[in-house]
Chains A and B, each alone.
Chain A
Amino acid sequence: MKQQAEYQRSWWSRATQSPYFVYLLISPLFLILFAYVVYPFYSTFLQSFAGNDTLANYRKFFSLESTANLEALWNSVYISIISVICCAVVGVTMAFLLERYEFPGRRLLSVLVLVPMALPPLVGVLSFTFLYGESGIFPRFFQHLFSLEEVPFSLKGIWGVVVVHTFTMYTYFYLTASAAIKGLDPSLEEAATSLGAGRIRVWTKVILPMLTPSIIASSLLVFMVSMASYTAPLMFGVERTMTMQIYLARTNGNLDMAATQSTILSIVSILFLLIMRWYQNRRNYQNLSKGVSVHRSEVTSKPLKTISIILSFAGTLILILPILVLILISFSKDGSWTIQILPTDYTLDHYKALFTDERTWRPIWNSIQMGAVATVGNILFGVAAAYAMVRLSFKGKSLLDTLIMIPWALPGTVVAVNLIAAFSTESPFAFNQVLIGTFWILPLAYFVRHLPLVFRSTSASLLQLDQSVEEASRSLGASWWYTFRRIVLPLTLSGIIAGTLLALVQSIGEFVASILLYSTTTIPLSVAIFQKLYAFKFGTACAYGVLQILLILIVLLISEKLSKGSAGSAI
């Protein structure tokens, strides 16, 4: 008996020692990625070749007789390029002004500059149409002011999309550029100046080249996000974009064409993802030099000071108006605001209804439930994948990383189409059930779309945790599991929580995939906002929006606290 036990133990220890044992450990991760990322993508890919003539859909797509699809592709690329340029100009300028100059209103502005991040895409577009759309507050105001027949200007069409993109996406440029500027060693500029370089030369030869990596990285990112953008074209009625074409093909029941369009858009997105990863890997990070902090030049001359005050006031206004208008309209009586500049009748009913009226409360509760289910999945997968990625050594690491990033790079519309292709019939990965039309399809979509969030934040905190800390625990007699519970989890908890909150809040607000996938029995919050809008119940829609913004602000606040707390205890 004893010998047998001995034998079994040695069998187990031999198995765990085998260089292939690690593949057994990571196989569930790859299985999940295969089932919910690769397989749906593959299903769409297959469907795009459906029919007697396998290439028919592609021929139709690229046909010169009906150019709707080609036009859509061109429009998407065109909008994306313009968006990149606008975001770059606004984002980098803001970063420079706020990091390098001292002027009245700088502090307030540097907080408000991140406001667009707190706006969920749908809610952001919504407030822009209220402010600057055809029946928006500003166009109406000028119409009344000058007693015109029609509104003098309004946001619509492609330019409307570009303006919204600029407002919501310049933060990508702002964040990377201001980080780069903070890391820019002022002694480099001083060195250049001492060597006789003039102002212009310092800029073109020293500062801009140092910022190039961050600008290129953000450009790729903004391009990708713009290509994937769906809400803005939808609200401004730009039908000829890739995402809208997919949505229309799908709602018209032309599933094969939707699959073809999705495949083409996926290829573009994945290509950009790969370029971005390649670029980030080859890019050298500059070492931050210690001690010297960036010097802010103070704006002193009188006229410049006046201009800067006016500009920062205007900036503050532009940044804060979208939220103010949402709050304002959330108190307005539904149906009372027609041709006036501002709503005339106000009420608290919408907020009361949020939590008391079953019909209004239902979508909120649906989204919370579905978001929670998805987030639990994200935590389990994200923590396991992050640990495997950081601590285990196996072949296929970059494959794992890429597979996790792909669903994030894919437009939500495409994710939805992929899931439809895979799960509208019984599938072994759905335990032989049809998922489309059930409660479960949306949590699955949220899980897939937000795969990298918990993974990224957890692996970031794991990377900060020196491996020897775990080894110390093992050397003191603790088992792997005991070590994980008492050492690894407490030390990475702040990262896990930050990622979890982000995933939860994004799931609750998710619109793009939801609109294609939702079942009428479990309508999510974002779809409810959309429906209220079309039923002219602006007040309720805005109350929903304000609730979402509050949620996001709370999450941002907690994350900020957490990152500060963990900085103190870092080794």
Chain B
Amino acid sequence: MKSVRIENVTKKFGNVLGVSELNLEVKPGEFFTFLGPSGCGKTTTLRMIAGFYYPTTGKVYFDGQDVTTLQPNKRNIGMVFQNYALFPHMTVDENIAFGLQVRKLPKSDIRQKVDRIRGLVHLGQYGSRKINELSGGQQQRVALARALVIEPDILLLDEPLSNLDAKLREETRVEIKRIQTELGVTTIYVTHDQTEAMSMSDRIMVMESGLVKQVGTPQEIYHKPNNRFVATFIGETNMLEMKVSSIEGDVVTVESENGLILRGLVNGAAKEVQLAADSTIHVSIRPEAFEAGPGDNTVKGTIEFVEFTGLSVNYIVHVNGTSLKAMIINGGSAIKAVRDEIELHIPPRNLYFLAE
């Protein structure tokens, strides 16, 4: 269990910038996720921690020890690859034992450790199977076992669930989290799937175009995004450009160009937002922020689109020239149809103000 610290790391591929001026600290035992769209630099960062890339400038530390240019085989890391990268000419046990053989452990120790870890990932009966005789989910667990059996200081997971089907992905997600908690190993997880990131992580780093957009707990990232990219990338939201018309006490009134007037709270603003009358501001309203019927911030409009998902009813409502996405939890009440009028309200605490 080690900490990872990245200091001012920049990685260039020729003239292409992979990661720019990255700073980061992962605590011992933490489950830390790099989240972002493809090409944002998350895998590049992971590979620099693994030692497959060396940073162009900057340093990488494990527990304060400089490992910036240490070879990958000297780092004592466990890595699970997107395509699992299992050795196709070996059995399950041979795959798992590989790292232990490299470490020249006695045969009996290897046997014991392999058996134990195989049990941990629920592959008890499959020790002598060939890799191509396993299903995708089983291969995934072999890859995990192989990375964990060497008792790595840091576990690196590069989109490990992306090759599994939806149902298996959910099961495996829970499984990985369970094993990680049980072993307490420092884990860095790369994904573009926000559900995975939100459900598993202690903390998340959101990246875009080689830059860190925000680091925080899942709740912080979701409820207190620092910028519009994070707000729109994580979950769904209605992003409106509005003007601050007045600030009275802790109540902020905003108005859109076409006359939609809403009220929010002063503390419902991102860190660097300066609320001032007459300034332009972005307002983020999550679809689930809407509540049925009239109340504070009542909006009336025409329904453009209805979607019933079972759990909820999703509407797109046309209000004063703006289309708003609203999600109402299905409470059994009647569902309206397209072109019907609808009345909803948004509690002021659900308005979130962003700069830019």
Interface string of B87-110 (1 = CB under 8 A from A): 111000000001100110000000
A486 CA to B97 CA, complexed, in Å: 13
CB proximity of B114 to chain A, nearest CB, Å? 13
| CB neighbors of B among A423-472 (8 A) | 466, 468-469, 471-472
With contact pairs A468-B81, A468-B83, A482-B102 given, residues A475 and B88 touching in the complex (Cβ less than 8 Å): no
Q: Is the CB of A477 within 8 A of B73?
A: yes
Q: Is the CB of B87 within 8 A of A469?
A: yes
Q: Is the CB of B89 within 8 A of A477?
A: no
Q: Is the CB of A478 within 8 A of B102?
A: yes
User: Which A residues lie within 8 Å of B69 (CB)?
Assistant: 13-14, 17
A-B contact count (CB 8 A): 84
B47 — nearest CB in chain A belongs to which residue? A471
Q: Is the CB of A473 within 8 A of B98?
A: yes
A571 CA to B147 CA, complexed, in Å: 19
Choice from A479, A487, A490 contacting B73 with Cβ under 8 Å: A479
Q: Is the CB of A473 within 8 A of B103?
A: no
Whether B54 sits at the interface, judged by CB under 8 Å, is yes
User: Which B residues lie within 8 Å of A469 (CB)?
Assistant: 85-88
User: Which B residues lie within 8 Å of A479 (CB)?
Assistant: 73
Point out which of A469, A472, A482 has the most chain B C-beta atoms below 10 A from its C-beta. A472
Whether A476 sits at the interface, judged by CB under 8 Å, is yes
User: Which A residues lie within 8 Å of B23 (CB)?
Assistant: none
CB proximity of B315 to chain A, nearest CB, Å? 41
Whether B78 sits at the interface, judged by CB under 8 Å, is yes
Q: Is the CB of B132 within 8 A of A568?
A: yes
Q: Is the CB of A472 within 8 A of B79?
A: yes
User: Which B residues lie within 8 Å of A570 (CB)?
Assistant: 88
With contact pairs A466-B83, A468-B83 given, residues A475 and B73 touching in the complex (Cβ less than 8 Å): yes
Choice from A468, A477, A480, A490 contacting B150 with Cβ under 8 Å: A477
Q: Is the CB of A17 within 8 A of B146?
A: no
With contact pairs A17-B69, A471-B52, A569-B132 given, residues A476 and B89 touching in the complex (Cβ less than 8 Å): no
CB proximity of B208 to chain A, nearest CB, Å? 25
Choice from B87, B99, B131 contacting A477 with Cβ under 8 Å: B99
A475 CA to B86 CA, complexed, in Å: 12
CB proximity of B191 to chain A, nearest CB, Å? 17
B149 — nearest CB in chain A belongs to which residue? A476
| CB neighbors of A among B115-169 (8 A) | 130-132, 143, 146-147, 150, 156
Could you tell me how many residues of chain A have their Cβ less than 8 Å away from some Cβ of chain B?
25
Whether A474 sits at the interface, judged by CB under 8 Å, is yes
A148 CA to B98 CA, complexed, in Å: 78
User: Which A residues lie within 8 Å of B85 (CB)?
Assistant: 466, 468-469, 471-472
Whether B198 sits at the interface, judged by CB under 8 Å, is no
Whether A373 sits at the interface, judged by CB under 8 Å, is no
B158 — nearest CB in chain A belongs to which residue? A468
A468 CA to B87 CA, complexed, in Å: 10
Whether A197 sits at the interface, judged by CB under 8 Å, is no
User: Which A residues lie within 8 Å of B150 (CB)?
Assistant: 476-477
Q: Is the CB of B99 within 8 A of A476?
A: yes
| CB neighbors of B among A5-49 (8 A) | 13-14, 17
Whether A211 sits at the interface, judged by CB under 8 Å, is no
A493 — nearest CB in chain B belongs to which residue? B89
User: Which A residues lie within 8 Å of B87 (CB)?
Assistant: 469, 472-473, 487, 491
User: Which A residues lie within 8 Å of B76 (CB)?
Assistant: 477
A17 CA to B88 CA, complexed, in Å: 30
User: Which A residues lie within 8 Å of B77 (CB)?
Assistant: 475
Choice from B70, B75, B79, B98 contacting A478 with Cβ under 8 Å: B98
B150 — nearest CB in chain A belongs to which residue? A476
A568 CA to B131 CA, complexed, in Å: 11
A480 CA to B131 CA, complexed, in Å: 23
A205 CA to B324 CA, complexed, in Å: 52
User: Which B residues lie within 8 Å of A487 (CB)?
Assistant: 87
Point out which of B73, B78, B99, B143 has the most chain A C-beta atoms below 10 A from its C-beta. B73
Q: Is the CB of B78 within 8 A of A475?
A: yes
Q: Is the CB of A490 within 8 A of B146?
A: no
Whether B58 sits at the interface, judged by CB under 8 Å, is no
Interface majority SS on A: helix, strand, loop or mixed?
helix
CB proximity of B110 to chain A, nearest CB, Å? 13
User: Which B residues lie within 8 Å of A476 (CB)?
Assistant: 73, 78, 98-99, 102, 146-147, 150
Whether B348 sits at the interface, judged by CB under 8 Å, is no
A14 CA to B87 CA, complexed, in Å: 31
B156 — nearest CB in chain A belongs to which residue? A475
B76 — nearest CB in chain A belongs to which residue? A477
With contact pairs A476-B99, A478-B98 given, residues A471 and B79 touching in the complex (Cβ less than 8 Å): yes
Whether B72 sits at the interface, judged by CB under 8 Å, is yes
A473 CA to B89 CA, complexed, in Å: 13
Point out which of B86, B89, B132 has the most chain A C-beta atoms below 10 A from its C-beta. B89
Q: Is the CB of A477 within 8 A of B79?
A: no
A303 CA to B81 CA, complexed, in Å: 62
A468 CA to B50 CA, complexed, in Å: 12
Q: Is the CB of B102 within 8 A of A477?
A: yes
Interface string of A549-571 (1 = CB under 8 A from B): 00000000000000000001111
CB proximity of A428 to chain B, nearest CB, Å? 37
CB proximity of B239 to chain A, nearest CB, Å? 38
CB proximity of A21 to chain B, nearest CB, Å? 12
Interface string of B6-50 (1 = CB under 8 A from A): 000000000000000000000000000000000000000000001
User: Which A residues lie within 8 Å of B88 (CB)?
Assistant: 469, 491, 569-571
Q: Is the CB of B79 within 8 A of A475?
A: yes
A479 — nearest CB in chain B belongs to which residue? B73
User: Which A residues lie within 8 Å of B54 (CB)?
Assistant: 17
A486 CA to B89 CA, complexed, in Å: 10
User: Which A residues lie within 8 Å of B103 (CB)?
Assistant: 477
CB proximity of A284 to chain B, nearest CB, Å? 25
Q: Is the CB of A471 within 8 A of B83?
A: no
A409 CA to B160 CA, complexed, in Å: 46
A476 CA to B88 CA, complexed, in Å: 16
User: Which A residues lie within 8 Å of B99 (CB)?
Assistant: 476-478
With contact pairs A475-B78, A476-B146, A482-B102 given, residues A491 and B89 touching in the complex (Cβ less than 8 Å): yes
User: Which A residues lie within 8 Å of B146 (CB)?
Assistant: 472, 476
A162 CA to B147 CA, complexed, in Å: 62
Q: Is the CB of A471 within 8 A of B102?
A: no
CB proximity of A60 to chain B, nearest CB, Å? 52
A469 CA to B77 CA, complexed, in Å: 15
| CB neighbors of B among A358-399 (8 A) | none
Point out which of A17, A477, A568 has the most chain B C-beta atoms below 10 A from its C-beta. A477
User: Which B residues lie within 8 Å of A472 (CB)?
Assistant: 79, 81, 85-87, 143, 146
A475 — nearest CB in chain B belongs to which residue? B79
A490 CA to B83 CA, complexed, in Å: 20
B54 — nearest CB in chain A belongs to which residue? A17
A478 — nearest CB in chain B belongs to which residue? B102
A465 — nearest CB in chain B belongs to which residue? B88
User: Which A residues lie within 8 Å of B52 (CB)?
Assistant: 471, 474
Choice from B72, B98, B131, B132 contacting A471 with Cβ under 8 Å: B72
Please name the 5 residue pairs, one residue from A and one from B, whose CB atoms are nearest each other, closest first.
Answer: A476-B99, A468-B85, A472-B85, A475-B79, A474-B72
Extra pairs beyond A469-B86, A476-B150, A491-B88 (4, CB < 8 Å) = A472-B81, A472-B87, A487-B87, A491-B89
CB<8 Å pairs between A and B, sample of 14: A471-B50, A471-B72, A471-B81, A472-B81, A475-B147, A476-B102, A476-B146, A477-B74, A477-B102, A478-B98, A478-B102, A491-B88, A491-B89, A569-B88
